[in-house]
Amino acid sequence: MNVIEAIESRHSVRAFLDKPVSDELLTKVVAAAPCAPSWACTRPWIYYVATGDVLKRIREQYVELYTSGAPRANDLPTEPKWPERENENQLAWGRQRCRVQWNIDPNSTDPAEQARFNEIKKHMRIMAMRFFDAPAVIFPCMDKRLHDWALYDMGAGSMNIQLAAHELGLGCITAYHMGCYPEVLRRELGIPEHLNILLGIAIGYKDEDSCENRDKAVRTPVDEILTIVH
């Protein structure tokens, strides 16, 4: 797979096979992060990976906290309110997922259809708290004293991780909510207080048969995002 092919064929994976990922592969994937550019070669990247029994414990605590109504407490505050263009993009993506993944008409007023949708949403929220049952989760962290600009470098590192995983036959899902109970992560993974936990990147072997992996998020056509001026 060349780089362009990898970029174009990568998609988030939200259902995984029950198959562990070796430490060797996890190491290889994370080793791609520091190949990314960073401002003044500051290299802010730090990663913790949860797998095996530790991930099982984290998963149980996440589900327990979520079902008991514990508020999300991500180190990086709150979910954004998007401007119109981005808000419409995320709404359109939600409607597409309804149709493609779950065969639901998002505009349906049929109570049975709405009830089915509500059940699916409930199930997906729990699956999200279970890290989509991935066999490993990578938690990107950075020093709390770093400027917001370091997030740019962290994002570049995450992209490298996802592309390396893709090349090695693995799938990933980056998710904000995976960092929603940072105290659990600090306790179980020994992450020190001076680091912000940004989010989680669940990683594993894609379940090709799951409807959760049927959706392919749309790509904005380049002519909508590009202006070349001569």
Ligand X SMILES: Cc1cc2nc3c(=O)[nH]c(=O)nc-3n(C[C@H](O)[C@H](O)[C@H](O)COP(=O)(O)O)c2cc1C
Applying CB under 6 A, which residues contact ligand X? Answer: 11-12, 93, 173-177, 199, 217
CB of 173 to ligand X, least distance (A): 6
Question: Token pair 């993506």 is at which residue?
Answer: 93
Of residues 22 and 91, the one with the C-beta less far from ligand X: 91
CB of 80 to ligand X, least distance (A): 10
Of residues 57 and 177, the one with the C-beta less far from ligand X: 177
Of residues 135 and 179, the one with the C-beta less far from ligand X: 179
Of residues 52 and 126, the one with the C-beta less far from ligand X: 126
Q: Identify whether the C-beta of residue 29 lies closer than 8 Å to the C-beta of residue 164.
A: yes
Of residues 110 and 126, the one with the C-beta less far from ligand X: 126
CB of 195 to ligand X, least distance (A): 17
Please give the sequence-ordered ranges of beta strands (E in DSSP) within the chain, or none if there are none.
Answer: 46-51, 136-143, 171-175, 195-197, 200-204
With CB atoms as reference, the residue minimizing the distance to ligand X is: 217
Of residues 8 and 110, the one with the C-beta less far from ligand X: 8
* CA 42 – CA 36 distance, rounded (Å): 11
24 three-class SS: helix
DSSP string, 83-122: PHHHHHHHHHHHHHHHHHHH---TT---HHHHHHHHHHHH
Question: Token pair 């995450």 is at which residue?
Answer: 158
CB of 93 to ligand X, least distance (A): 6
CB of 68 to ligand X, least distance (A): 20
* CA 28 – CA 31 distance, rounded (Å): 5
> What would the two tokens of residue 97 be?
């997922």
DSSP string, 42-53: ----EEEEEEHH
CB of 74 to ligand X, least distance (A): 10
